């Protein structure tokens, strides 16, 4: 899969003779006969991108014929005719020019279909984010209309407000997926959908940096890690996941997603004109028919638990702290956990109306308690604290930076299967201590009261825009063209010394065998990212008992057995292309310099 232009067009002269079309390559003196579509492509090649060429010619030719024409011309280029392969070193990352206009961002519309599987607040926040982003960016989404029956899905899109809709006619003549239209004209892409299948095709697009906002909501939690690991395999250098809470970043980096692909940008928070705490407690007690909320300290628990685990834990916690009135924010349990202990109320905002009461309950709180785990919505925690409420965070890694100086943490453990373990006695002690008025508590309250200024949608939008601008300057190409004059042929080989048949790679041109694994790595790298290739090799390493003499590592390249690829190491650093290719080339040089001198020249270009 090569999307990038790896060739430049030679100086040439086109002419027709006897109804046939010819191109004379003035650099190699060759004459090549071309067909109509190739003739038209040559008119544009090098000046237009593949996308532009296809879009320009698709009225005149079948789309497949245009792709085939480009492929054939590039095949000629591979054989040194008409086109010349551009050495990788000479390729400019095409995005070095800074964005000097409002960046134009594509927001694929698929996320609107997730509405039913999200809680109301998560859904609401998406629109607040988009609204804030329209200040600094030009947002566009794709709308498909069917020319034949006039139908389209613009219905969903009406709700998107300031987002421009780019109408694309779908129908028989247009068989592209929406990803095709993302290929050009955008400075970046903002993905909001959490689904693997919605997004995977957008990740195949070269040159357009992707910022993908990852939700922390328990409804999406089960399959989320897997989805993110898969999407990460497709990430370009210039792509990033935006997570809304620091604990999401910690969680994902634990599973091997490097920190440079993870950016923490908290959401803006929504606050209302405050009322007095006593009044808020009064309202809360009335609305839930729980008089104890006016008499006892009120502790808010912003949940994020896997539902079964959550119900058990909340019950346990409530029994251990019967003197506390406990307000739980959990949109799943609010619907399903009907008979919680007496001192517990569970609330979930699943409509605009209910979301508008939420600030009343938050203002009744004396303390906010939350587990720093993937399902816990950070913005809700911050909103709950914004009226001057300190927090006790149940965390693996200490107090999350979002709430620093506004609370304390209790160390706990959780894993990816919803198992959550917190020392209940220690937690209760910390909470009770936190409820007692003190200088420290007063200081926490002061910090929390400044949250509304700290977490605004403007700031969120600004950080996102900056992220787009920063990533724009990174290498955006998906794949490096493998510069290889002599392709390997994978074949079986009978060894007359051992009487055994093995699989090897036979290198054309050089006419000799080499390790299958090395050639395999090389072949895979022409289509896949380094981390993907490492995945393949680690998979086989785990499965086979092939003795490994050398490792796939920064120092050895794919030398003899890549089944043991060097890990994406502790620092989360991936191997990059040149690190793999250079040693390869050096090994060649040492041992078989004569044989491959031609090959080496080419590789030297690449390195």
* 598 belongs to the binding site for other proteins (CB under 8 A): no
* 413 belongs to the binding site for other proteins (CB under 8 A): yes
175: phi then psi, degrees, rounded to nearest 5: -110, 15
Are residues 161 and 130 in contact, defined by beta-carbon separation less than 8 angstroms?
yes
* 59 belongs to the binding site for other proteins (CB under 8 A): no
* 349 belongs to the binding site for other proteins (CB under 8 A): no
- Tokens standing for 32? 């090549």
CB of 224 to other proteins, least distance (A): 9
Sole window of 86-94, 178-186, 434-442, 584-592 interacting with other proteins (rule: CB under 8 A): 178-186
Nearer to other proteins, 295 or 501 (CB): 501
Sole window of 87-95, 123-131, 179-187, 210-218 interacting with other proteins (rule: CB under 8 A): 179-187
User: Distance between CA 106 and CA 189 in Å, rounded?
Assistant: 5
| Among the listed residues 149, 492, 571, 590, the single contact to other proteins using CB under 8 A | 492
* 416 belongs to the binding site for other proteins (CB under 8 A): yes
User: Distance between CA 465 and CA 135 in Å, rounded?
Assistant: 10
- Report the phi/psi class of residue 104: left, alpha or beta, with left for phi > 0 and alpha for psi in -120 to 50: beta
* 234 belongs to the binding site for other proteins (CB under 8 A): yes
Q: Which of 18, 24, 211, 63 is nearest to 130 (CA)?
A: 211
Residues 429-488 that bind other proteins (CB under 8 A): 487
CB of 511 to other proteins, least distance (A): 6
Residues 240-259 that bind other proteins (CB under 8 A): 254-256
* 168 belongs to the binding site for other proteins (CB under 8 A): no
CB of 38 to other proteins, least distance (A): 11
Sole window of 130-138, 277-285, 501-509, 589-597 interacting with other proteins (rule: CB under 8 A): 501-509
* 197 belongs to the binding site for other proteins (CB under 8 A): yes
* 16 belongs to the binding site for other proteins (CB under 8 A): no
Nearer to other proteins, 151 or 419 (CB): 419
User: Distance between CA 329 and CA 344 in Å, rounded?
Assistant: 11
* 17 belongs to the binding site for other proteins (CB under 8 A): yes
* 508 belongs to the binding site for other proteins (CB under 8 A): yes
Q: List the x/- string, 516-535, binding to other proteins by CB under 8 A.
A: x---x--xx-xxx---xx-x
User: Distance between CA 125 and CA 110 in Å, rounded?
Assistant: 16
* 352 belongs to the binding site for other proteins (CB under 8 A): no
- Tokens standing for 364? 């009744």
| Among the listed residues 39, 127, 288, 540, the single contact to other proteins using CB under 8 A | 540
**What is the bridge-based pairing of β-strands 83-85 and 7-9?**
antiparallel
Residues 558-577 that bind other proteins (CB under 8 A): none
Are residues 27 and 11 in contact, defined by beta-carbon separation less than 8 angstroms?
yes
| Among the listed residues 56, 138, 196, 440, the single contact to other proteins using CB under 8 A | 196
* 75 belongs to the binding site for other proteins (CB under 8 A): yes
Sheet holding 391-395, edge to edge: 344-347, 325-329, 298-302, 367-371, 391-395, 407-411
Q: How remote is the C-alpha of 229 from its chain's centroid?
A: 9
CB of 410 to other proteins, least distance (A): 15
Are residues 293 and 330 in contact, defined by beta-carbon separation less than 8 angstroms?
no
CB of 404 to other proteins, least distance (A): 24
CB of 255 to other proteins, least distance (A): 7
Are residues 68 and 103 in contact, defined by beta-carbon separation less than 8 angstroms?
no
CB of 589 to other proteins, least distance (A): 24
Number of residues that bind other proteins (CB under 8 A): 86
CB of 499 to other proteins, least distance (A): 5
* 512 belongs to the binding site for other proteins (CB under 8 A): no
* 99 belongs to the binding site for other proteins (CB under 8 A): no
Task: Give the C-alpha distances (Å, rounded to integers) separating 64 from 49, 60, 202.
Answer: 16, 12, 21
Residue where the block lists tokens 């796939």 = 552
| Among the listed residues 425, 542, 571, 594, the single contact to other proteins using CB under 8 A | 542
Q: Which of 512, 520, 500 is nearest to 561 (CA)?
A: 520
* 39 belongs to the binding site for other proteins (CB under 8 A): no
Q: How many Cα atoms sit within 13 Å of 181 on the Cβ side?
A: 21
* 24 belongs to the binding site for other proteins (CB under 8 A): yes
* 148 belongs to the binding site for other proteins (CB under 8 A): no
CA angle 520, 523, 526 (to 5 degrees): 145
* 315 belongs to the binding site for other proteins (CB under 8 A): no
CB of 416 to other proteins, least distance (A): 6
User: Distance between CA 588 and CA 579 in Å, rounded?
Assistant: 15
* 233 belongs to the binding site for other proteins (CB under 8 A): yes
Q: Give every CB contact of residue 531 below 8 A, 6+ residues apart in sequence.
A: 232, 233, 568, 574
User: Distance between CA 51 and CA 418 in Å, rounded?
Assistant: 45
- Tokens standing for 168? 């694309």
> What single string gives the DSSP state of each residue in 197-228?
HHHHTGGG-SS--EEEEEP--GGGHHHHHHHH
Buried b (16+ CB within 10 A) or exposed e, 85-124: bbebeeeeeebeeebeeebebbbbbbbbebeeebbbbbbb
* 490 belongs to the binding site for other proteins (CB under 8 A): yes
Sole window of 27-35, 148-156, 265-273, 592-600 interacting with other proteins (rule: CB under 8 A): 27-35
Are residues 571 and 590 in contact, defined by beta-carbon separation less than 8 angstroms?
no
| Among the listed residues 115, 155, 421, 470, the single contact to other proteins using CB under 8 A | 421
Report which secondary-structure segment, H or E, holds 65.
helix 63-78
* 56 belongs to the binding site for other proteins (CB under 8 A): no
- Using CB atoms within 10 A of its CB, is residue 605 exposed (0-12), middle (13-18) or buried (19+)? middle
Nearer to other proteins, 43 or 413 (CB): 413
214: phi then psi, degrees, rounded to nearest 5: -100, 125
Sole window of 139-147, 415-423, 442-450, 575-583 interacting with other proteins (rule: CB under 8 A): 415-423
* 97 belongs to the binding site for other proteins (CB under 8 A): no
Sole window of 172-180, 258-266, 269-277, 438-446 interacting with other proteins (rule: CB under 8 A): 172-180
| Among the listed residues 536, 548, 550, 579, the single contact to other proteins using CB under 8 A | 536
For 502, other C-beta atoms within 10 Å of its C-beta total: 11
Sole window of 11-19, 241-249, 288-296, 322-330 interacting with other proteins (rule: CB under 8 A): 11-19
Q: How many Cα atoms sit within 13 Å of 58 on the Cβ side?
A: 14
* 216 belongs to the binding site for other proteins (CB under 8 A): no
CB of 359 to other proteins, least distance (A): 35
């Amino acid at each position: 899969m090569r999307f990038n232009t790896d060739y430049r067009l030679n100086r040439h002269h086109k002419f027709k003779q006897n109804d046939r079309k010819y191109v004379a390559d003035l650099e190699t003196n060759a004459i090549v006969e071309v067909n109509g579509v190739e003739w038209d492509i040559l008119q544009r090649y090098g000046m237009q991108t593949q996308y532009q060429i296809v879009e320009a010619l698709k009225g005149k030719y079948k789309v497949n014929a245009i792709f085939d024409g480009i492929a054939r011309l590039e095949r000629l280029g591979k054989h040194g005719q008409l086109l010349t392969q551009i050495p990788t070193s000479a390729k400019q990352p095409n995005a070095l020019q800074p964005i000097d206009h409002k960046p134009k961002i594509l927001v694929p519309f698929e996320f609107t279909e997730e509405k039913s599987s999200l809680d109301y607040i998560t859904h609401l926040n998406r629109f607040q984010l988009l609204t804030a982003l329209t200040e600094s960016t030009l947002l566009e989404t794709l709308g498909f209309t069917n020319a034949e029956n006039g139908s389209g899905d613009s219905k969903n899109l009406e709700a998107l407000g300031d987002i421009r809709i780019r109408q694309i006619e779908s129908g028989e003549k247009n068989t592209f997926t929406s990803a095709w239209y993302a290929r050009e004209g955008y400075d970046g892409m903002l993905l909001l959908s959490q689904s693997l299948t919605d997004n995977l095709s957008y990740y195949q697009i070269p040159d357009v940096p992707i910022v993908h906002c990852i939700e922390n909501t328990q409804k999406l939690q089960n399959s989320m890690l897997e989805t993110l690991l898969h999407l990460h395999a497709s990430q370009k250098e210039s792509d990033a996941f935006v997570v809304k809470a620091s604990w999401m970043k910690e969680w994902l980096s634990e599973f091997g997603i490097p920190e440079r692909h993870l950016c923490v940008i908290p959401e803006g928070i929504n606050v209302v004109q405050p009322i007095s705490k006593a009044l808020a407690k009064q309202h809360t007690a009335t609305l839930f028919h729980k008089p104890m909320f006016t008499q006892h300290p009120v502790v808010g628990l912003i949940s994020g638990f896997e539902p079964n685990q959550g119900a058990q834990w909340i019950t346990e916690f409530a029994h251990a702290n019967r003197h506390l009135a406990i307000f739980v924010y959990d949109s799943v349990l609010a619907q399903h956990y009907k008979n919680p202990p007496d001192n517990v109320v569970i609330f979930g905002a699943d409509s605009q109306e209910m979301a508008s009461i939420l600030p009343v309950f938050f203002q009744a709180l004396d303390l906010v308690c939350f587990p720093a785990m993937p399902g816990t919505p950070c913005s809700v925690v911050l909103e709950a604290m914004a009226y001057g409420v300190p927090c006790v965070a149940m965390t693996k890694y200490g107090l999350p930076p979002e709430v620093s100086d506004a609370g304390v943490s209790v160390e706990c453990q959780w894993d990816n299967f919803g198992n959550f373990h917190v020392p209940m006695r220690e937690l209760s002690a910390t909470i009770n201590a936190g409820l007692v008025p003190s200088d420290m508590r007063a200081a926490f309250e002061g910090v929390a009261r400044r949250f509304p200024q700290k977490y605004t949608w403007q700031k969120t939008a600004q950080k996102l825009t900056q992220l787009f601008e920063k990533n724009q300057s990174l290498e955006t190409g998906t794949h490096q063209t493998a510069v290889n004059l002599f392709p390997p042929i994978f074949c079986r080989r009978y060894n007359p010394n051992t009487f055994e048949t093995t699989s090897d790679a036979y290198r054309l041109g050089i006419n000799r065998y080499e390790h299958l694994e090395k050639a395999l790595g090389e072949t895979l790298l022409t289509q896949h990212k380094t981390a993907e290739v490492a995945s393949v090799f680690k998979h086989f390493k785990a499965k086979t008992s092939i003795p490994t003499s050398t490792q796939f590592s920064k120092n050895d390249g794919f030398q003899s057995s890549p089944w043991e690829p060097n890990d994406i190491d502790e620092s989360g650093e991936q191997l990059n292309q040149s690190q793999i290719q250079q040693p390869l080339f050096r090994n060649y040089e040492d041992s078989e310099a004569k044989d491959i001198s031609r090959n080496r020249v080419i590789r030297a270009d690449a390195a």
